[in-house]
Amino acid sequence: MSEGKWPPESIGLSPGKRVLFLTKDLELIRKQLYEGLDLRMEDLSVGDLLDDINTDVMTPAWVCFDYDPATIAENAYAGLLHDGRRVFEPRALIDGGFEVIVSGHRKGTGSSRETAPQCERWSGIRIVIAASFAPIHERNNLNLGQLMGDHSILSLTQESAR
């Protein structure tokens, strides 16, 4: 994506940046975060992706005690647990080099907390892909300058980046 000009003339993936797929297989998320696994939309179906990711998963209440979005980002997705432990360890999203995050249907359900899209934005996410968004979450993304799209746009973007 070109920096500094709004709206950008074109939208694409930045060289060296990654796409994180929030899959129903939480071990696959861990492999992307900690082992460098890179996936493409063509590797998955929308049915493989997490639906109804709520804002409590993205930023649980205890994360919201911080007021600085950069600090909030350090605990992005702290509420996503598997076998009693966090899938996203502190700074996992920040340190992963991700620019795009992908989920299934109804992204951002639950409360309307603005910290949820902030945790992504301050972690380096610039593009949010989902089949659909909760209305207030969608508005919060727009207010932060997050680009949003659906899975077909990601497929085209990944194809043109080859």
In this predicted structure, what is the pLDDT of residue 11?
Answer: 73
Residue 125 falls inside a structural domain: yes
Q: Per-block average pLDDT, block size 10, for the chain (162 residues)?
A: 63 89 97 97 95 95 94 98 95 97 95 91 96 95 93 82 67
In this predicted structure, what is the pLDDT of residue 9?
Answer: 72
In this predicted structure, what is the pLDDT of residue 158?
Answer: 78
Residue 13 falls inside a structural domain: no
Residue 6 falls inside a structural domain: no
Residue 4 falls inside a structural domain: no
Residue 154 falls inside a structural domain: yes
Residue 10 falls inside a structural domain: no
HSE on the CB side for 65, CA within 13 Å?
A: 3
Residue 29 falls inside a structural domain: yes
In this predicted structure, what is the pLDDT of residue 95?
Answer: 98
In this predicted structure, what is the pLDDT of residue 131?
Answer: 96
Q: How far is CA 142 from CA 48, 57, 86, 117, in A?
A: 26, 20, 28, 9
Residue 68's SS3 state is coil
- Alpha-carbon gap, residue 94 to 108, rounded angstroms: 19
Q: What is the pTM of this model?
A: 0.91
| CATH number for the domain harbouring residue 123 | 3.20.19.10
Residue 8 falls inside a structural domain: no
Domain span holding position 114:
18-160
Peptide bond into 7 cis (omega under 30): yes
What is the count of structural domains for the chain?
1
